[in-house]
Amino acid sequence: MNSLAVREVRHFIGGAAQAGASGRFGDVFNPNTGQVQAKVPLANVSEIELAVQSALKAQPGWAATNPQRRARVMFDFKRLLEVHMNELAELLSSEHGKVVADSKGDIQRGLEVIEFACGIPHALKGEYTEGAGPGIDVYSMRQPLGVVAGITPFNFPAMIPMWMFGVAIACGNAFILKPSERDPSVPVRLAELMMEAGAPAGVLNVVHGDKQAVDALITHPAVKAISFVGSSDIANYVYELGARHGKRVQAMGGAKNHGIILPDADLDQAVKDISGAAFGSAGERCMALPVVVPVGAKTAQAFREKMTAEIETLQVGISTDQGAHYGPVVSAAHKARIESYIQMGVDEGAELVVDGRGFQLQGHAEGFFVGPSLFDHVTPKMKSYQDEIFGPVLQMVRAETLEEAVALPSQHMYGNGVAIFTRNGRAARDFAARVEVGMVGINVPIPVPVAYHTFGGWKRSAFGDTNQHGMEGVKFFTRVKTVTARWPEAGLEGHGDSSFVIPTMG
């Protein structure tokens, strides 16, 4: 590609685009062609400081704006997202590689959190007790933390930022977003639309960068909370470093989600559901379903035959191809990583039923495409089973009983999501109660909760005690202040005696 055609992504600080000042840049690829389409600046400490100071300047006035007026900004932001949906989806697909229809879903799921944030006046209401003691009332209020930050991954460059900043800003905080440097343009566009919706300059800042920027945010004394989504190792690092510096931290990590198929399941529907959940977005979802656990040999053999036939119908194409089921993965390095895990599975003794390596799309030989792969006879001891592959690879782990099937996700180090496919309500209820996983689907292959509930896994899928969005998000981005008030009767003379014991209301 001609270097003159390579655009430069910018930071968004204090309500305006800011060119990078560090002299360091990363490449933004077009995954469909393999070519560099943009350069993204990698912030230094001084640029993080500029964003923090911008947020500190804006936050007090924004917090003093009553919740109803903050909600009106959210309503206007929601309207602008809908108006610009096609533009945002095409931009997202051009950098991530997911098909445009999937990009619209990415944006829509974020928009639904914005819809939740439109109801922030109700969510911020405190509690009140009249007459808790003689002439004493007690009430509580939720107040914003101040300046907060979010660090988001490449796989959902619209949804996950909106999960974070939608609730945080509605609560009265100022927000600094450090998005993935692989697909940075949509987050900047979201910040522009937030300003257009009426948010004051500095309430939402976007700063691009790598570990230097991440560490600067986590350790900055003015940043009160860090929300993170990414790999488990980095989530653990963010959590520990943030906690050491006195931050409130929620850090969502990796996943290895299982789909359990009982013998009584609607197998044709389960195959369709699992195909979409395993291969949609090229498997680059933390809620993808990369492991299927058929219960019983008959169920396993039938599933294998039907899934093999289903895979043959899948269309891999460029992100703008309306007939494609999924597009390229995000980078050449990630493509190589996925293919190395396929080879690992072979080396470990799993049976490779369908091999997606070496897939090439005519006219796009340099694109980052990986075909769908299917393994059978995978065992829990295999590293390819234990690790998150994050690609279009489906692994079959056979189980003889429901007990064995429940144990697989329960004993795995990740505990993000799980699904069970069955017509038996009692079995499904028992499974949901016992499985050691944070989000459960019953005949639902990707159990991402709706925006007014909350998202979060268990074990190495999440570090911290508070989940994303919903009321958990409100709790994370606010702190409770409780007031105990006594108003002596007007004109009452004299004073009570001093008391040296803890006061009670009895």
Same domain, 65 and 161: yes
Confidence of residue 495 (pLDDT cuts 50, 70, 90): low
Does some domain include residue 27?
no
Contact status, residue 197 vs residue 226, Cβ threshold 8 Å: no
Q: Is the pLDDT of residue 276 over 70?
A: yes
Q: Is the pLDDT of residue 249 over 50?
A: yes
Same domain, 247 and 263: no
As a 3-state breakdown, the chain gives helix, strand, coil percent values, each rounded to 5, of: 40, 20, 40
Does some domain include residue 450?
no
Q: Is the pLDDT of residue 3 over 50?
A: no
pLDDT attached to residue 5: 79
Instruction: Please compute the mean of the pLDDT values over residues 360-385 and round it to a whole number.
Output: 96
Tens-place pLDDT, residues 168-223: 999 999 999 999 999 999 999 999 999 999 999 999 999 999 999 999 999 999 99
Q: How high does pLDDT run on average in the chain?
A: 95
Q: Please indicate whether residue 395 or residue 491 has the higher confidence score (pLDDT).
A: 395
Rounded Cα gap, residues 340 and 355, in angstroms: 12
Residues 6+ apart with CB under 8 A from 187: 152, 157, 158, 161, 177, 179, 206
Q: Is the pLDDT of residue 84 over 80?
A: yes
Output the CA torsion 94→96→102→108 (10° steps).
-90
Instruction: Please compute the mean of the pLDDT values over residues 253-271 and round it to a whole number.
Output: 97
Tens-place pLDDT, residues 118-136: 999 999 999 999 999 888 9
Domain count, the chain: 2
Instruction: Please compute the mean of the pLDDT values over residues 414-438 and round it to a whole number.
Output: 97
Nearest to 232 by CA among 457, 475, 477: 457
Q: Is the pLDDT of residue 70 over 90?
A: yes
Catalytic annotation, pick one of 99, 118, 286, 439: 286
Q: Could you tell me whether strands 16-18 and 11-13 are parallel, antiparallel, or unpaired per DSSP bridges? A: antiparallel
What residues are paired with 480 via a beta bridge? 142
Instruction: Please compute the mean of the pLDDT values over residues 23-40 and round it to a whole number.
Output: 97
Q: Is the pLDDT of residue 503 over 80?
A: no
CATH assignment at residue 102: 3.40.605.10
Percent of the chain at pLDDT exceeding 90: 93
Confidence of residue 1 (pLDDT cuts 50, 70, 90): very low
Same domain, 249 and 177: yes
Same domain, 345 and 213: no
pLDDT attached to residue 505: 63
Nearest to 370 by CA among 413, 327, 431, 399: 327
Q: Is the pLDDT of residue 269 over 80?
A: yes
Does some domain include residue 9?
no
List b or e across 347-363, with b for residues whose CB sees 16 or more CB atoms inside 10 angstroms: eeebebbbbbeebebee
Q: Report the amino acid identity of residue 301.
A: Q
Nearest to 217 by CA among 147, 169, 167: 147
Same domain, 268 and 242: no
Same domain, 81 and 216: yes
The residue segments making up the domain with residue 322 are 258-442
Q: Is the pLDDT of residue 500 over 90?
A: no
Same domain, 224 and 330: no
pLDDT attached to residue 2: 43
Tell me which H or E stretch contains 244: helix 232-244
Same domain, 144 and 225: yes
Same domain, 378 and 243: no
Same domain, 425 and 466: no
Does some domain include residue 420?
yes
The overall longest dimension of the chain from CA atoms, in Å, is 92
Does some domain include residue 179?
yes
Same domain, 315 and 262: yes
Instruction: Please compute the mean of the pLDDT values over residues 241-248 and round it to a whole number.
Output: 97
For residue 365, what is the DSSP state?
T
pLDDT attached to residue 501: 72
Q: How far is CA 401 from CA 69, 293, 295, 330, 385, in A?
A: 56, 10, 6, 38, 20
Measured in Å, how far apart are the chain's first and last C-alpha atoms?
78
CATH assignment at residue 382: 3.40.309.10
- Is 286 a residue of the active site? yes
Q: Is the pLDDT of residue 493 over 80?
A: no
Q: Is the pTM of this model over 0.85?
A: yes
Strand residue runs (E) in 191-247: 204-206, 223-229
Same domain, 359 and 380: yes
